[in-house]
Amino acid sequence: MPDPLWTSDEIVQATRGRLEGRAFAATGVSIDTRTLEPGDLFVALGGVRDGHEFVDQARDQGAAGVLASQPVSGSAVIVADTMQALERLGAAARDRAPAARRGAITGSVGKTSVTQAVMAGLMLAGRAHSSVKSYNNHIGVPLTLARMPRDTERAVFEIGMNHAEEIRPLTAMVRPHAVAVTTVGPVHTENFTDGEAGVARAKAEVFDGLEPGGIAVLNADNAWFGLLKNAARARGAEVRTFGRAEGCDARLIDFQGAGDHAVVQARFHGKGLDFPILQTGMHWGLNAMAVLLMLEALDVDLGDGLAALGSFEPLAGRGAERTVHLAGGAFTLIDESYNANPVSMASAIATLGARRTAGRRIVALTDMLELGPKAAGFHAALAEPLADAHVDLVFAAGPLMKSLWDALPSTRRGGYAETAAALAPQVERAAEPGDVVMVKGSNGSKAGLIAQALMRLDVRPAEAG
């Protein structure tokens, strides 16, 4: 049996609660019975569905104990507020591992991929811990902290936001030794009266939690670099930079796609580097620079960083590729369906344009959300990069993508529908052997439905077992 992550006595002490029932030991922490593992502590959070309604189910699935704010059956630690108790449990996990180097990553684009790539490097260097999926909000960050083992040597946390004053309390929980801001762009701008400038200031909140003498890894190519650099230095941070310009600590010289991977040419603190990565998106050139600087800040040597980048595969919905076999041949599906904004959309389209293919370049795009009053313009503006990338057919879904559809020449129009579900059959009929088909859109506009429909076209025979 694994060593306990938490004993009931430790939970009581951390949360200022009281034990009811027998003492217990938990090997994990869960807030969701759909993913709960035997031995977990089940935290009954409030919400649309009160977590207390699922306590019996959690016990049936093998929960070791429950953190609750009302009487429940079996062993439980009772507290006044379970959300506050989860935050205290996270803080206790942080404090009981004082030697652990902690990093935090935020940004308008790329924070999940960069976080997971950094984690790949941390794992090569020793006992490591990180966020799973996109656990980057007011619940995900304390939950990730609460799951951190006491013998952790290095950890990295993803920190996200939709509004101002969301990052500040999260970075205060983590107290990172190093932070990275991947980039700032027009994302969530509908929640800021001053648009992108407000987004930049909100991202700068991440510096407020830095430990004394901490390191800030910043994108020198970004328009908001000056604002972020000044904010970081005001908090006493040492600034390390990545970008294409001369003078960057991690300078991207070239990025060349080569089939299912790419080769990065760079200078790292003035030393020339050429290395392969298992990514094809052009944005991964700068992502790789950010990853190497963050790993360095967390005391991981360069060799481990390069090895991690050389084996880190694209995440589902974030550039993962799949060969879809049809009766007469196969086409390549690029699944970018997890999220989209003007910055990531332009990068993905440019990457597609740089790709060599014997067939057609086809895109299926759904609405980019949370862009505020300029949303229609952002969508229409995609017509130019699509033309520059020599995309043959464009399929579009959603009321905002109608602006792009109207801006396209008739020769490039593949099909339009109000919803992703209605568009999927049109894209299915269009895909032919030799094509490269990219699906991209915001998660909320259901781009994933189109990617899933295309995957179901695969006629490969099942492999013999």
3-state SS string for the chain? CCCCCEEHHHHHHHHCCEEECCCCEECEEECCCCCCCCCEEEECCCCCCCHHHHHHHHHHCCCCEEEECCCCCCCEEECCCHHHHHHHHHHHHHHCCCCCEEEEEECCCCHHHHHHHHHHHHHHHCCEEECCCCCCCCCHHHHHHHCCCCCCCEEEEECCCCCCCCHHHHHHHHCCCEEEECCCCCCCHHHCCCCHHHHHHHHHHHHHHCCCCCEEEEECCCCCHHHHHHHHHHCCCEEEEEECCCCCCEEEEEEEEECCEEEEEEEECCEEEEEEECCCCCCHHHHHHHHHHHHHHCCCCHHHHHHHHHHCCCCCCCCEEEEEEECCEEEEEEEECCCCCHHHHHHHHHHHHHCCCCCCEEEEEECCCCCHHHHHHHHHCCHHHHHHCCCCEEEEECCCHHHHHHHCCHHHEEEEECCHHHHHHHHHHHCCCCCEEEEECCHHHCHHHHHHHHHCCCCCCCCCC
Does residue 295 share a domain with residue 163?
Answer: yes
Q: What is the pLDDT of residue 110?
A: 87
Q: Are 264 and 307 in contact (CB under 8 A)?
A: no
Two tokens at 167?
């990052």
Does residue 307 share a domain with residue 186?
Answer: yes
Is 91 within the bounds of a domain? no
Is 139 within the bounds of a domain? yes
* Contacts of 57 by beta carbon, 8 Å cutoff, 6+ apart: 33
* Contacts of 367 by beta carbon, 8 Å cutoff, 6+ apart: 379, 397, 398, 399, 400, 401, 441, 442, 444, 445
Hunting for tokens 């020449």 — which residue is that?
A: 409
Paired strand residues for 258: 261
Q: What is the pLDDT of residue 319?
A: 82
Q: What is the pLDDT of residue 465?
A: 35
Q: What is the pLDDT of residue 2?
A: 65
Hunting for tokens 């910043």 — which residue is that?
A: 218
Distance CA 268, CA 302 (A): 9
Does residue 408 share a domain with residue 331?
Answer: yes
Is 302 within the bounds of a domain? yes
* Contacts of 392 by beta carbon, 8 Å cutoff, 6+ apart: 360, 361, 362, 412
Quick one: which of 161, 152, 97 has its CA closest to 130? 152
Count of structural domains within the chain = 3
Of 268, 290, 311, the residue at which a domain comes to its end is: 311
Two tokens at 65?
């104990």
Q: Are 395 and 426 in contact (CB under 8 A)?
A: yes
Distance CA 152, CA 166 (A): 26
Does residue 139 share a domain with residue 75?
Answer: no
> Residue 133 region, left (φ>0) first, then alpha (ψ -120 to 50), else beta?
left
For the domain that residue 390 is a member of, what is the CATH number?
Answer: 3.90.190.20
Quick one: which of 437, 419, 428 has its CA closest to 456? 428
Q: What is the pLDDT of residue 189?
A: 66
Does residue 195 share a domain with residue 112?
Answer: yes
Is 336 within the bounds of a domain? yes
Q: What is the pLDDT of residue 374?
A: 87
Does residue 358 share a domain with residue 259?
Answer: no
Q: Measuring CA to CA, how many Å separate 260 from each of 131, 314, 377?
A: 27, 10, 33
For the domain that residue 57 is a member of, what is the CATH number?
Answer: 3.40.1390.10
Is 86 within the bounds of a domain? no
Does residue 402 share a domain with residue 294?
Answer: no
Does residue 106 share a domain with residue 26?
Answer: no
Q: What is the pLDDT of residue 84?
A: 97
Q: What is the pLDDT of residue 1?
A: 55
Hunting for tokens 């800021």 — which residue is that?
A: 192
Distance CA 247, CA 265 (A): 15
Of 311, 340, 370, the residue at which a domain comes to its end is: 311
Of 16, 47, 80, the residue at which a domain comes to its end is: 80
Q: Which residue ranges in the chain fall short of pLDDT 50?
A: 462-465
Does residue 283 share a domain with residue 361?
Answer: no
Is 293 within the bounds of a domain? yes
Q: In terms of pTM, does the model score above 0.85? A: no
CA 384 distance to own-chain centroid? 27
Is 272 within the bounds of a domain? yes
How many C-alpha atoms does 252 have within 13 Å on its Cβ side?
Answer: 24
Supply φ then ψ for residue 209, to 5 degrees: -95, 0
Does residue 137 share a domain with residue 279?
Answer: yes
Q: Are 113 and 287 in contact (CB under 8 A)?
A: yes
Does residue 221 share a domain with residue 154?
Answer: yes
Distance CA 144, CA 152 (A): 13
Q: Which domain holds residue 366?
A: 320-455
What is the C-alpha R_g of the chain? 23
Is 87 within the bounds of a domain? no
Does residue 450 share a domain with residue 422?
Answer: yes
Distance CA 104, CA 234 (A): 18
Q: What is the pLDDT of residue 462?
A: 44
Q: What is the pLDDT of residue 196?
A: 87
pLDDT, tens digit, for every residue of 64-116?
999 999 999 899 999 999 999 999 999 999 999 999 999 999 998 889 999 99
For the domain that residue 177 is a member of, what is the CATH number?
Answer: 3.40.1190.10
Distance CA 353, CA 328 (A): 25
